[in-house]
Amino acid sequence: MRDERRAMTILRVSGAAVLVLSVVMLLIFPATAVEQNVPGFVSPVIGFELASTPEHVLGILGHSDNPARPAAVAGMNRGNRIDFLFMIAYPALYVGIVLLLRARGRLPGTFGTFLLCLPVVMWLGDLLENRELLGLADLTDPAAMTAGLTRLRPFTTMKWHALFGTSLLIAYPIWQDPSWWRWTGAIFGVAALVGFASIVALPAIEVAAYLLSLAWLGTWVYSLRA
């Protein structure tokens, strides 16, 4: 019971942080691309994360002569600085989930330990991704963006695939729970499968991100009521 209470505390605190920071970033990040988003994406924030060419970056933030560029760059940079807190909060939510499942005997020791390592991978990938995004946002010369864009994709892939992998591996253990929380296991599983579909259709990441947000919210609400 003590281990379960500790896990619940982590879920309540990290879930609250995820919710508050999500709302703050939603208000701060640009709502639309200045000129054109990466094809297939609605959110300019996710589009920026998955940009692969200078045209993608300049389409989202605007070319140097676009009067809307300064406000877009300022909003993107402010949001990405707040993301340094968010990138701690959502991996902590996964830590809480793994600890809760272990306390309830649904994860074998070695497997549970492995799952506790994956949130670190999420955090590190997000940290390195953010460093590149902050650098790219201040550039207007396409040639100067090449190195940053080359580094960005591996870091972004590292973060998202650690998220999808962890979500897939916890989906069935959550589904075994007798409470209504089990339904978030189905959402985690579907989100992971949709996310991995991004290997062939990159915009699937955006759909998966919304599904994960729903699973996180359900998990936090469950921790408050449990």
**135-176 pLDDT per residue, tens:** 999 999 999 999 999 999 999 999 999 999 999 999 999 999
Enumerate the domain spans of the chain. 2-225
Tell me, what's the pLDDT at 1? 84
**pTM (2 d.p.):** 0.95
Q: Are 136 and 37 in contact (CB under 8 A)?
A: no
Region 90-113: mean pLDDT is: 95
Q: Would you list the DSSP string of 82-142?
A: HHHHHHHHHHHHHHHHHHHHHHTT-S-HHHHHHHHHHHHHHHHHHHHHHHHHHHHHT---H
Task: Give the model's confidence band at 221: pLDDT under 50 very low, under 70 low, under 90 confident, else very high.
Answer: very high
| Helical spans, DSSP H, in the chain | 2-28, 44-49, 54-61, 69-103, 109-137, 142-175, 182-196, 204-225
Region 177-206: mean pLDDT is: 97
